[in-house]
Amino acid sequence: YPPIDIKTIKKNILAFLKVLQEDLSDYKNFLIEEAELSNDNEYWFITMGFDRRKHYSNSTQLTRLLDNLGAFEREYKIFKVNAYTGQVLSMKMRKNDE
């Protein structure tokens, strides 16, 4: 098995997301939903699920209230990670129905 463990991979994915988003305060409940090691043991394919705060585009009193209440929706992303270095190589969207 590759030397990089799942806990380290999760930490690397969160660091990768922080670089992309800068502020993760709109996100919570980060969980590894699926982890698959490639047949050649070179890559981890990690599905990370998290709750993202909904932001509403129109600025009515109701939508401002909803923003303040912190309505969240579940999202999933698939990360390809080098199994030996832990480097995140790619990220793609996963539809909730996959």
Question: pTM for the whole thing?
Answer: 0.78
Query: pLDDT tens digits, residue range 20-51?
Result: 877 788 788 999 999 999 999 999 999 999 98
Counting residues of the chain whose pLDDT is more than 90, the rounded percentage is 48
pLDDT at 3: 76
Give the side-chain half-sphere CA count within 13 A for 84. Answer: 3
Q: What is the 3-state secondary structure (H, E, C) of 53-70?
A: ECCCCCCCHHHHHHHHHC
pLDDT at 5: 87
Cβ–Cβ under 8 Å, residues 75 and 91 = no
d(CA 97, CA 39): 25
d(CA 51, CA 64): 19
